[in-house]
Structure 1
Amino acid sequence: MLYKLNLDHILFLDIETVPQSRLFADLDETTRVLWEQKTQYQRKEEISAEDFYERAGIWAEFGKIVCISVGYFTFKGDSRSFRVTSFHGEEIQILKQFKQLLKDHFSQTKHLLCAHNGKEFDFPYIARRMVINGLNLPYKLDLFGKKPWEVPHLDTLELWKFGDYKHYTSLKLLAHVLGIPSPKEDMDGSMVKDVFYEENDLDRIIIYCELDVVTTAQVFLRMRNEELLSVEEIVKIVP
């Protein structure tokens, strides 16, 4: 099945998220209480809800999106390119721009979205934040009434599981075992909050997010046993 998919029908994506507020103390009282209740079983007894707030970006109810990076293949004759772009700024604008991209270029039945762990994180997170921000869901994220085989989502983590529901493999580990050259990243997901709130360095987050999109596409190629992208084939597009 993988081999039958047209690469130029797939939109690869990754998101970066942070807690809604810089500090736990900045939250209103109701949100603080709800955060304590939400995380009481995830936290060890010695870790307070305030200390655990470092991880709030993982939950769409307590976090927000600061960057959505996307990539897609284009073909002209025998040559191919992988075009990468990012949406960033105010969350509502990020979501509107991403929704417009789907509407304009990836709205047909043949089109698919692909992310690493996308079915557990990226796709539902984007959908939840759209609802919270008062936006109607685009067709590719509105799963109500769809049968499993009608869901237009691909997930490189799910593909790698081969039916093993207990197995989790990070994108970095998967790229390593598949022999995909590791990009020179100067950060990881656990650093996004501090880079955003403390360093105010959104450009660094965008670069990190785009590298993950490229790596996801490389993993997908590798799983189809196709030639990996060269540096020259990766094209940065400014929206």
Structure 2
Amino acid sequence: MLYKLNLEHILFLDIETVPQQQHFSDLDETAQQLWEQKTQYQRKDEFTAEEFYERAGIWAEFGKIVCISVGYFIHKGENRNFRVTSFYGEEIKILREFKQLLKDHFSQVKHLLCAHNGKEFDFPYIARRMVINGINLPYKLDLFGKKPWEVPHLDTMELWKFGDYKHYTSLKLLAYVLGIPSPKEDMDGGMVKDVFYKENDLDRIVTYCELDVVTTAQVFLRLRNEERLDDDEIKKV
């Protein structure tokens, strides 16, 4: 089925998230208690709630989105381009602009969203943050009443599972085994919080996010047994 999909109908995306506050002590008392309850099974006795707060960006209830990067294919004759752009800054602005993109260009039934581990993380995270911010969900994220085969989402990690529900493979590992050159990243996901709050370097986070979008598209091409993108086919817009 992958071979039958029109690449131009797919929006590839990735998000970067951070805790809502820089420090656990910045949360009000209720939020601190709720965080402690939410994470008690993950922390066990190894970490205090305050120590574990470094990871708060993973949960939509305690984190926020600082960047959404997207990429899409454009074919003109024999030429193939992959265009990448990003939404960043204030979270509500990011979400509104992303929703507008979906509404204007990726709202038809034929259109699909694709991310690595997107079904477990990116798609529900964006939807939850939209609800929290009082934004009506766009059609592509409103899954209520949809049958499984009607959900317009693709997930490169799920595609790699081939039905194995226990299997987890990072994007970096999957790219490696498929022979996709690792992008020259100067950070990893665990550094996003410090780069955002301590270094105040949002541009660095955007670059990192865009590289993951390109890598996701490269993986998708390899899963279709197609040639990966050359550098000159990738355009920042």
Provide TM-score, normalisation by structure 2: 0.99
RMSD: 0.4
Residue type of the alignment partner of 2:62: F
Residue 113 of structure 1 corresponds to 113
- Aligned partners of 1:46, 1:120: CA distance in 2, in Å? 25
Q: CA deviation at 1:47?
A: 1.1
Residue type of the alignment partner of 2:147: K
- Aligned partners of 1:209, 1:67: CA distance in 2, in Å? 7
Structure 1 stretch displaced more, 36-45 or 112-121: 36-45
Residue 185 of structure 1 corresponds to 185
- Aligned partners of 2:170, 2:46: CA distance in 1, in Å? 28
- Aligned partners of 1:47, 1:217: CA distance in 2, in Å? 37
Q: CA deviation at 1:118?
A: 0.1
The answer to whether residue 194 in structure 2 is matched with residue 194 in structure 1 is yes
Residue 152 of structure 1 corresponds to 152
| 1:58-137 alignment, distance < 5 Å | 58-137=58-137
Q: CA deviation at 1:44?
A: 3.2
Residue type of the alignment partner of 1:25: S
- Aligned partners of 2:173, 2:41: CA distance in 1, in Å? 28
- Aligned partners of 1:6, 1:69: CA distance in 2, in Å? 21
Residue 217 of structure 1 corresponds to 217
- Where 1:42 maps in the other structure, the secondary structure is helix
- Where 1:11 maps in the other structure, the secondary structure is strand
- Where 2:107 maps in the other structure, the secondary structure is coil
The percentage of counterpart residues that share the same residue type is 85
- Aligned partners of 1:151, 1:44: CA distance in 2, in Å? 35
Q: CA deviation at 1:61?
A: 0.1
- Aligned partners of 1:76, 1:218: CA distance in 2, in Å? 19
Q: CA deviation at 1:45?
A: 1.0
Output one character per residue of 1:93-128: Cα deviation in whole Å (capped at 9) or x when no partner: 000000000000000000000000000000000000
- Aligned partners of 1:160, 1:128: CA distance in 2, in Å? 26
Distance change in 2, residues 1:34/1:73 (3 Å): same
Residue 51 of structure 1 corresponds to 51
Residue 15 of structure 2 corresponds to 15
Residue type of the alignment partner of 1:197: Y
The answer to whether residue 32 in structure 2 is matched with residue 32 in structure 1 is yes
Residue type of the alignment partner of 1:192: V
Point out where structure 1 has 5 or more consecutive residues left out of the alignment.
none
Number of equivalences: 237
- Aligned partners of 1:47, 1:99: CA distance in 2, in Å? 37
Residue 173 of structure 1 corresponds to 173
- Aligned partners of 1:153, 1:39: CA distance in 2, in Å? 28
Q: CA deviation at 1:46?
A: 3.7
- Where 1:210 maps in the other structure, the secondary structure is helix
- Where 1:73 maps in the other structure, the secondary structure is strand
- Aligned partners of 1:11, 1:45: CA distance in 2, in Å? 41
Provide TM-score, normalisation by structure 1: 0.99
- Aligned partners of 2:129, 2:46: CA distance in 1, in Å? 31
Output one character per residue of 1:75-95: Cα deviation in whole Å (capped at 9) or x when no partner: 111101000000000000000
Residue type of the alignment partner of 2:126: I
